[in-house]
Structure 1
Amino acid sequence: MDVFHALQQRRSVRAFLPQAPSADTVRALMEGAARAASGGNLQPWRVLALTGEPLAQTLQAVAQAQPEAYANSLSYPPDLWEPYRTRRFANGEDLYRSIGIPRDDKAARLEQLGKNAEFFGAPVGLFICVDQRMGLPQWMDLGIYLQSLMLLAVENGLATCAQGFWRRYDGALAAHLGLPANYSVAVGVALGFEDTQAPINTLQASRAPFEEWAELRGF
């Protein structure tokens, strides 16, 4: 599989089979993704992969914790403007439509949101962490690592879902996972084999047309 094909195939999967990939496979993904570019070769990521009892214990710790007060401001800017507001709204509506949840069924929507806290049933959960003293350039490096990891997963027949959700429980996770001082969870990643029979996995997020966000000059 070439990189372009992997990019076309990658998407956020939200229902997984119980079978876990092997430790060798998970390590190969994590280690391979570390070839990602980083400014000054800082390699600012710290990555934990959990399965089995360690994963179950972590999910239990989060279930007993309270989300942090500032968490809602971490994923998107406040008062999101166009065209980003419409893109986010459309993506959410498409997701709930794929599983037959109408807009006025708030309880069902909250139940679906709660599945974030279970890694959507994935048998492996990864936490990509960063030293809080790092700046925006290093967070961009984390994004390059994350994309590399997800593309390698596709190449190996695996599915992923990157989740900013876990930043809501950064303090509880840092304590439970025993992260070094100053480290925070930047993003979680659900990893496993896709449940191809799950309706939610029929969702294919749209992309804005090239002309909306790009220009070619001097060609």
Structure 2
Amino acid sequence: MPAGQQEMTRADAPVVTHGPDSHAVDSVIRRRFANRRYARRPVSQQMITDILEVARFTPSGANIQPWRVYVLAGPEKDKVSQALLRAHTDERDQHASEYAYYSPELPEPYLSRRNEFGRIFYGSLGIAQSDLAARAGQTAKNYGFFGAPVGLLLTIDRRLATGSWLDLGMFIQTVMIAAGARGLQTCPQETFAKYHRPLRELLPISAEEMVVCGISMGFAEEADTRGLMPKVAVGEFTTFVGFADATEGDPSWDTAKT
């Protein structure tokens, strides 16, 4: 392959001769949750490669594919975890993310949803929202990847614009769905962005790369296979325009012709 030429991803894509199993896909998405308890069961490099092999087909504007992934396991993951924990414990106030995840003043209904998350999440752990020390202790568990055997760190080139962040978000979701299809659970974690400086000391992250988030990945403990967070109904965030009232069984859509 000539230098600089990208791999053509469509030529080697499998030919699909039938429609997707929507129930299987729906089930993976519905069962996905931010898992924070992992079984002590290893995950092979090949399985992660297979997941990323699927995720590389994520769409991106002008096909620029703005994601970069660092996959950690074993002693190297432990070394990164220890550095992050030291930074979080000893010098928390000296670190800051390079981007703003939340608006400084959340309008409604988003503020109420975030407050509800805090009540449900910390309440499930027996932690009062006013107990800052206990909350910091729970946050610290992020940096051990919640005991997951694999941790991913994702970066984006800081010279790119907002549209590429949309592409990166689709890539992250695709990674989590592909992991779920293989029986794994995940937890996307923005908190790694705060400690980009110690991460740069341990990983070959270039100056142009901005640390966006991490993902813990592994098999969930049996006792922790349910999600806690309520989701709003479709009618609360969707406006349908131009649809007839009765669309079920519409004979004008003939799947045999597609």
**Fold agreement, TM-score > 0.5:** yes
Whichever structure has more helix as a proportion of its residues is 1
The percentage of counterpart residues that share the same residue type is: 33
2: CA distance between counterparts of 1:72 and 1:206? 30
2: CA distance between counterparts of 1:106 and 1:39? 41
2: CA distance between counterparts of 1:112 and 1:216? 41
The structure-2 alpha-carbon separation of the partners of 1:158 and 1:49, relative to structure 1 and needing over 3 Å to count, comes to: same
Q: Is the 8 A contact 2:32 2:185 kept in 1?
A: yes
Pairing 1:158–2:193 present:
no
Write the letter of the residue equivalent to 1:49: V
Instruction: Give 1:47's aligned residue.
Output: 69
1: CA distance between counterparts of 2:99 and 2:205? 23
For structure 2, the residue ranges without an aligned partner over 5 or more in a row are: 1-22, 244-258
Matches within 5 A, 1:21-40: 21-40=43-62
- How many residues are matched? 217
Write the letter of the residue equivalent to 2:211: V
Instruction: Give 1:90's aligned residue.
Output: 116
Greater Cα shift, 60-69 or 114-123: 60-69
Instruction: Give 2:236's aligned residue.
Output: 212
Q: Is the 8 A contact 1:174 1:184 kept in 2?
A: no
2: CA distance between counterparts of 1:8 and 1:202? 10
Instruction: Give 2:37's aligned residue.
Output: 15
Q: Determine which structure has more spread, i.e. the larger CA radius of gyration.
A: 2
Pairing 1:120–2:142 present:
no
Taking structure 2 as the reference length, the TM-score comes to 0.79
State the shift of 1:205 in Å.
Answer: 1.3
Taking structure 1 as the reference length, the TM-score comes to 0.92
Match of 1:105 among 128, 131, 148: 131
The structure-2 alpha-carbon separation of the partners of 1:140 and 1:73, relative to structure 1 and needing over 3 Å to count, comes to: closer
State the shift of 1:211 in Å.
Answer: 2.1
3-state secondary structure, aligned to 2:222: coil
Pairing 1:192–2:192 present:
no
Q: Deviation per CA, 1:129-174: give whole Å up to 9, x if none.
A: 1111111111111101000000011100000000000010112212
Write the letter of the residue equivalent to 2:79: Q
Q: Is the 8 A contact 2:85 2:140 kept in 1?
A: no
For structure 1, the residue ranges without an aligned partner over 5 or more in a row are: none
The structure-2 alpha-carbon separation of the partners of 1:73 and 1:182, relative to structure 1 and needing over 3 Å to count, comes to: closer
2: CA distance between counterparts of 1:113 and 1:30? 27
Q: Deviation per CA, 1:29-82: give whole Å up to 9, x if none.
A: 122111100111111111111010110111122223345554397221101111
Greater Cα shift, 1-10 or 40-49: 1-10
3-state secondary structure, aligned to 1:137: helix
State the shift of 1:206 in Å.
Answer: 1.1
Matches within 5 A, 1:129-140: 129-140=155-166
Task: Provide the aligned C-alpha RMSD in A.
Answer: 1.8
State the shift of 1:107 in Å.
Answer: 2.5
Q: Is the 8 A contact 1:16 1:193 kept in 2?
A: yes
